[in-house]
Structure 1
Amino acid sequence: MNRRSTVTLTALLIAGGVLTGSSVPALAGGTATTHPRPDRPDDTRRTQQQVTRDWVQLWNGDYALAEHLIAPDVRVRAALLDGGDGSAVHGPAGMVDLIGQIRGAFPDLRFTVEVGPIIDGSHVVVRWVADGTYGGGFPGATAAPGTTVRFTGTDTLRTRHGLITDYWLNADTLLLTTQLGVESV
């Protein structure tokens, strides 16, 4: 491979997120320069993978993980079913409350990762699928308790020192509410 194709391949790998920071190899005839990124203090790939596993387990009802996973000043950005934007969620207890409200209508709700984790420094993205059984109590639902539901979403997390500091949620709530027979207003 000549120098030009090596440079092009390296540039593509860097742009695609495959090579970052200290993993950038020296180019033929030159030396690699690494620059520390201030947004990545200690969030290694292994740490991010563990954060992802714990995050899914938290959503699957293991609330004890919240204290060791969620930053006290976590910021949630989501279009919630109650019309909120997530800004009312504060700290680990707030996240547990949010998850508990959702799981309250679907006690056996199970989240699995469909795509990811996609890791880029301090950011982690996962596409998930949620399967469960409607237990009742969802506002406006006409579906009978026992109705099975399946919906999807994408979570984007920002971490610092292994704690989730920011959470963006995109969920297919239209699919969920349709399965529950919620009439549009």
Structure 2
Amino acid sequence: MTDDVKARYRRYLEQAWTADGDRLDALVAELVTADFVIHQTRTDGAPSERIRGPAALTRLIRESRLLFREVSSVIEVGPIVEGDLVAAHWRFHGTYVGGMPGATAKPGTKVQFAGIDMLRSSGDRFAEYWVVSEAMRLMAQLGIGKG
């Protein structure tokens, strides 16, 4: 079971976050439960628990991917499995294409930042997702909040 959860996490990070179109929809449907919950700090201050279901995850990935091309994520630590939880430390690399409100960085700016994921499994899918990332580092690279 541990190896299955590790493989599922790798598919989530390395494939779902780089997939497009129908492939993304299919991957997410295979990876998360119908009542999947995303726990993530939101810029609008709304409770993150309102972000639910496979469609919410595909929307989050698509919205993020609109801002970057040449995307890759590398697992730096883990995945570590304990009971029904899996955790990992990752690093994102990408090229900014523009479109982030308040950003002064030019399209073509290379960015990288790290984060930590923890996901809870239910059966053969993930049911909950907690993410903490270096959002301030990303914002600095994009020139958000400068001057």
Instruction: Verify same fold: TM over 0.5.
Output: yes
In the alignment, the residues of structure 2 paired with residue 87 and residue 152 of structure 1 have an alpha-carbon distance, to the nearest angstrom, of 23
Residue equivalent to 2:96: 134
Within 5 Å, give how 1:68-107 maps onto structure 2: 68-107=30-69
Residue equivalent to 1:50: 7
Q: Find the partner of 1:153 among 111, 115, 123.
A: 115
State the secondary structure of the residue aligned to 2:69.
coil
Distance 1:77 1:122, change over 3 A: same
State the secondary structure of the residue aligned to 1:87.
helix
Distance 1:73 1:153, change over 3 A: same
Query: In the TM superposition, what is the alpha-carbon distance from 1:86 to its structure 2 partner?
Result: 2.6
Q: Which runs of 4+ in 1 moved over 4 A?
A: none
Cα shift readout 1:16-43 (whole Å, capped 9, x = no counterpart): xxxxxxxxxxxxxxxxxxxxxxxxxxxx
State the secondary structure of the residue aligned to 2:50.
coil
Residue equivalent to 1:119: 81
Structure 1 position 109 matched with structure 2 position 71: yes
More deviation in 142-151 or 78-87? 78-87
Query: In the TM superposition, what is the alpha-carbon distance from 1:107 to its structure 2 partner?
Result: 2.5
In the alignment, the residues of structure 1 paired with residue 130 and residue 136 of structure 2 have an alpha-carbon distance, to the nearest angstrom, of 18
More deviation in 121-130 or 78-87? 78-87
Q: Find the partner of 1:177 among 117, 120, 139.
A: 139
What code does the residue aligned with 2:16 have?
L
What code does the residue aligned with 1:58 have?
A
Cα shift readout 1:111-159 (whole Å, capped 9, x = no counterpart): 1111000110100001000000000001100000000000000000000
1:126 touches 1:156 (CA, 8 Å); kept in 2? Answer: yes
In the alignment, the residues of structure 2 paired with residue 107 and residue 99 of structure 1 have an alpha-carbon distance, to the nearest angstrom, of 13
2:6 touches 2:80 (CA, 8 Å); kept in 1? Answer: no
Structure (1 or 2) with the greater strand fraction: 2
Distance 1:95 1:51, change over 3 A: same
1:89 touches 1:98 (CA, 8 Å); kept in 2? Answer: no
Q: What percentage of aligned pairs have identical amino acids?
A: 35
Query: In the TM superposition, what is the alpha-carbon distance from 1:89 to its structure 2 partner?
Result: 2.1
TM-score, scaled to structure 2: 0.90
Structure 1: where are the runs of 5+ without partners?
Answer: 1-43
TM-score, scaled to structure 1: 0.72
Structure 2: where are the runs of 5+ without partners?
Answer: none
Cα shift readout 1:31-69 (whole Å, capped 9, x = no counterpart): xxxxxxxxxxxxx11211121121111112251210010
